[in-house]
Each structure stands twice: as C-alpha cells, then as structure tokens.
Amino acid sequence: MSINPMNSTPIRSETSGLKTDTLFLNMGPQHPSTHGVLRLGLTISGEVIVEAMPDIGYLHRGVEKLLETRTYAQGVVLADRLDYCSAMSNDLAFCLSVEKLLGAQVPKRAQVLRVIMAELNRIASHLIFFGTYGIDIGAFTPFLYAFREREMVLDLFEMCCGARLTYNYIRPGGVASDINADWIARCREFLDFFKPRLDEYDTLLSFNPIFLVRTQTVGIITPKTAVAWGLSGPNLRASGVNYDVRQAEPYCGYEQYDFTVALGKTGSCWDRYFCRVVEMRQSVRIVEQALSRLASGEIMAKLPKVLRLPAGEAYSHIEASRGDLGVYIVSDGGLAPYRLHFRAPCFINLAILQEILVGKKVADVIAVLGSLDIVLGEVDR
Amino acid sequence: MILDKYPAVLQAVPGGKILLTTTDDFINLGRKYSIWPLTFGLACCAIEMMAAYASRFDFDRLGVIPRPSPRQADLMIIAGTFVKKMAAPVREIYHQMPEPRFVIAMGSCANCGGPFHDAYSVVKGVDKVIPVDVYIPGCPPRPEALIYGVMELQKKIMRMKLAKGGGATLQAEKGSRDPAGGA
Ligand code: SF4
C-alpha cells in the first residue's frame, strides 16, 4: 500500500514522544542576497523563523574615528564611501554640516547644482535597488535594464567630475566644477529617455503577478512600528507616514521645487519597492525644474584654503536615497573635527529585521531584507 | 580561426582536420574561457563589479559567469574594504573553492587598505590572508579595469603546467608578494 503524504496524519510530538527542536541557520556573511557582508543568525522551527539576529561589523572601517584625523576637505573623500550607492548625498550632508558651523553662504548656482546631482544620484541608487531586488526575487532581466539606464547617469557624473562612483564633487562652500551647455543637453536627453523607461519597468516587474504574490502581503510594517523603530526614507513612507526631510526641513532650496512625496498604503515589501519607483519619477521632475532655473553665477563661496571651524557643534540632515542622513560635527577649533557622527539611515532601518522577520517563512527572508535596501558601508561605517 | 589566434598552442596536422596540442594548452584554454567568479562583494568596488556583469560591459563575453556558491567558483574577486572581522570568513570561503582557484584583489582597499589604510579595523591588503593573483589599482577601478584584470589572469592561466600541480596559486600559502613564490 502506498502512502499518500497528503492523507497521512503528521507525527505529533506529544503523542509519539518525539521531541522537535529549533535549528540555528547562519545566513551570510557571504550570501548573494545580503547585498554586501551582513550576517543573519536565524533560529528556525521548521520553515518558520523564531528569532532573527543581524550581525554587523564585517565592513567596519572606522570612518568616524578616521575623520578625526582628516581635514574637512579630506573628510569629503571618506564621506563618499559610506553609502557608496549614493555618494553625492553623503557629501551633501557632510558639507551642509561644515557650512552650518562655519556660517558660510553657498552661491545660488551651486545650490541648484547640488540638487541636480543629489536627485540624479537618487535615480542611480534606486536603479541599483530595482535591479538587485528583481534578482533577489528571481527576476534577472530587470537588472540588465536598470544598469543600462544607470550607466547613462554615471556618464553624466563622469562628464562633470570625472568619477563614476565616488565623486568628491560637493565640497564645503559649493561644488568642485561647473557644468556646461553640453552637459545640460545630455542631461535633458537622458531624462527624456528615462521617463518612458519607468513605464516599462512597471510592466517588467512592478505588476508582474509572481512578483506581486511574493511581495504584496509580505513583511508588513505598520506605521506605528515604523516610527517606533525610527525608520526613515522610502521604508517609512511605504507605511504611509508622510515624512520627507526635503519638505519637513528644506535645504538647498528644496522648498521651491514642486514634487510630491511617494506614500505607500500597507507597508508591505511591494509598497517599499513601489515607493522607490515613484520617487524616481519625482526625481526626474525635480531635475527638470532645477535645470530650467539654473542661472549663471559663482559655484564656490569665498572660503579660506585651509578650513578651520570655530569651536562648537552642528547637526544637519538631508533626505538621502535611503532615508534621513544626518551629520553631527563637534569642533574644538582645530583643523579636523573633534568628533563626528553619522546618523546612518541604513543602520537604523536594518534593526527592524529583528521584529518583522519573526513568524515569517524562510523563503520570505530575502524578500524582506531586500526591500529594506540597506548598504553595508553605511551600516558599519 | 583558432589556428590564427593560437598558432603556438595548436598545430594542424598537414592536410588533415586533426588538431594536435599539449594537454596543458588544451586544459588551460578551457579554463581560460570559463572563469566563474564567486558573487562576493564587500564594499563600493562591488558596485563596479556588478556594473561589469551588467549590460554595457557584459562580462559573459569572456566566459565570466557569476556563481553564488564557492563550490562552483574558480575565481574570487575581493571587491572592497577587507576588515579584520571579515578575514576569517574570507579564508574559509577561499578554502571551500575547488583547486585551481584564483584571486583578484580589486581596488586600493583590497590591495593595501586604500583610503582606510590607517584605520584600526582594516587589513592592509587581502594578500596578508590569502594569496592573490592579480591586483587592480583604483578607487574604485572602472569595470574596464576589472576586465583587463581578468585578461591578465587569462594570460597567467595559459602559463599553468599540470606537472607542477596545476594551480596558479601554488605559490600557495607563501603569499604572492613573496619573491620566491611569485608566478
Ligand atoms: S578601493 Fe575605494 S571604491 Fe574600492 S572599496 Fe575601497 S574605498 Fe571603496
């Protein structure tokens, strides 16, 4: 007689005296879907996760300590390498803090240039997310499309500052180099090319039935939990909490731009994903507006060659691609900061994994982890 | 076509359709065009590594196809800052890869610590822990540079000899900066 597994009654541990046990499963630090070197210690009971513990530090480079030995001009270089997917935002946060303590006024044109670069970088960074999240869920093709467009943004960056990934473009007092008419034309060309591509992405991945099933009801974060864990960026807004530093505390003249903040409804993985796709559209709008209001003028404030910040402290924060990025500087009047701290959004966003993974299936771990879009460089610093 | 490209490797028997070659050259030729790297990124350089796999640079042309498991990989590209906490896992992963295995150190960080050379937590070069075949300078190196690095590795593979044990990294535990162990 053959046994039909569907009909057989499972062996109950109480009746047969068999003991079931939980299993500790190690995920990472080398794992194709941890986006770098994150280790997750999962305790599982069958397919269900009982406990999840992120273990970080595999990329701890001691940036905050190093910055105490670097001058402010050199500091930008290290700030670049924190969240390497959107280096412009890091530079911007760092420079805003330095300028705040210095009391420097940044010229108009430099401000607009900063907005353009930060938003283009947001597009480039969300494109990485779009591509890699597709791979995580099992769709390889979107990756190739996303990187095709990303290369175009990187070409623009290369044209204006010579680097593809670590720009060192935004400097205390302004920006390093000006853009020319050729650049503006190329940029417009890219924006025109990119807008229809976003619709293509929706058919390719956003509304793909398999993708929807794997993400739409998974990893739900309620607004209350999101706020309690201090989430920021698209992860927070996907839960429906309307907080965007660009609108809450505008910097670089963001109050003059017309854009809407993308909000999700349920806080599921799909909402977090879709928030980012919508943000790319909004970034395109902002860049278009910024290009049209670009007036000629200085790009660098008159600052001494060697920056010495007055003793004191300053904190400023911006809306980086992954959330609310803050830089806190304490100066004792010397050439280098006395202490410098980054409020890294990824580090804070990562912590919520401990709560939302519990009770989920093993197969959902990647979907949830990927949707938080962490960059380990910023988590470990 | 192969004959034009590898006159020294293969010789056609006159008038026939048979190619004669040495075992070494034959195996090396196969190895050279099927370098499967481990998908293993550490930091910023890993993003440029991903770009090299993607549309514009298309690593597949060289037979470079990423594999997620060290058991299936021939090449480990150390792309990023190599910190002390990561040293033990990297060593373990390296030993999980089957012989012959190759290592490319991509970027200043993997070469010597790069911009973090004076940090307390960073290892000054991955060659302190595992032997390295090719070093690629840059912070980050462009994808073209990574492709060039793989081409250099291909040249190195063509010099491999079965009689000597077959591995390019048979300078083994000595470390590739060791003058006596250099290949
Ligand atoms: S070499 Fe430069 S780009 Fe590469 S990991 Fe190090 S800091 Fe990042």
Q: Which residue of A has its CA nearest to B70?
A: A30
Length of chain B: 183
Q: Is A10 a domain residue?
A: no
Residues in chain A: 381
Does the distance separating the beta carbons of B56 and A58 come in below 8 Å? Answer: no
**What pLDDT digit, counting tens, does each position of A26-62 carry?**
887 777 666 778 888 888 888 888 888 888 888 888 8
Residue A36 belongs to some domain of the structure:
no
A12 domain-assigned = no
CA distance A287 to A191: 8
- Residue A286 covered by a domain: yes
- Residue A142 vs residues A128, A129, A214, A342, B8: alpha-carbon distances, Å: 10, 10, 16, 32, 43
Give distance in angstroms: CA of B45 to centre of ligand 1. 5
Place of tokens 């935004």: A170
Structural domain contains residue A53: no
With CB atoms and an 8 Å threshold, state whether B51 touches A151: yes
Q: Out of B40, B83, B109, B136, give the residue to mutate to test ligand 1, the one with the largest number of ligand atoms within 8 Å of its CB.
A: B109
Tokens of B109: 């960080």
Mean pLDDT of chain A: 85
- Is residue A318 situated within a structural domain? yes
Tokens of A351: 């912590």
CATH code of residue A185: 1.10.645.10
Q: Is any Cβ of chain A less than 8 angstroms from the Cβ of B81?
A: yes
Give me the number of domains chain A comprises: 1
The pLDDT of residue A2 is above 60: no
- Look at residue A364 and tell me whether its pLDDT is greater than 50: yes
Determine contact: B145 vs chain A, CB below 8 A. no
Nearest to A165 among B70, B118, B140 (CB): B140
> CB of A81 closer than 6 A to ligand 1?
yes
Per CB-CB distance under 8 Å, the chain B contacts of A133 are none
- For B133-167, the pLDDT digits (tens) are 888 988 889 899 999 999 888 888 877 776 665 55
Distance from residue A358's CA to the centre of ligand 1 (Å): 35
Per-residue pLDDT band for A104 (boundaries 50, 70, 90) equals confident
Residue A252 resides in a domain: yes
Q: What is the predicted pLDDT for the residue at A328?
A: 92
Residue ranges of alpha helices (H) inside chain A are 13-16, 63-67, 72-80, 87-102, 108-137, 141-161, 181-201, 209-215, 223-228, 234-237, 245-248, 269-292, 345-351, 353-356, 364-372, 376-380
> What's the CA-to-centroid distance between A375 and ligand 1, angstroms?
14
Q: Which domain holds residue A87?
A: 62-379
Mark yes or no for CB contact B39/A144 under 8 Å: no
How far is Cα of residue B65 from the mean position of the Cα atoms in its chain? 13
CB A376 within 8 A of CB A347: no
How confident is the model over B53-108, as pLDDT tens digits?
A: 888 888 888 888 888 888 888 888 888 888 888 888 888 888 888 878 888 889 89
Q: Is residue A147 part of a domain?
A: yes
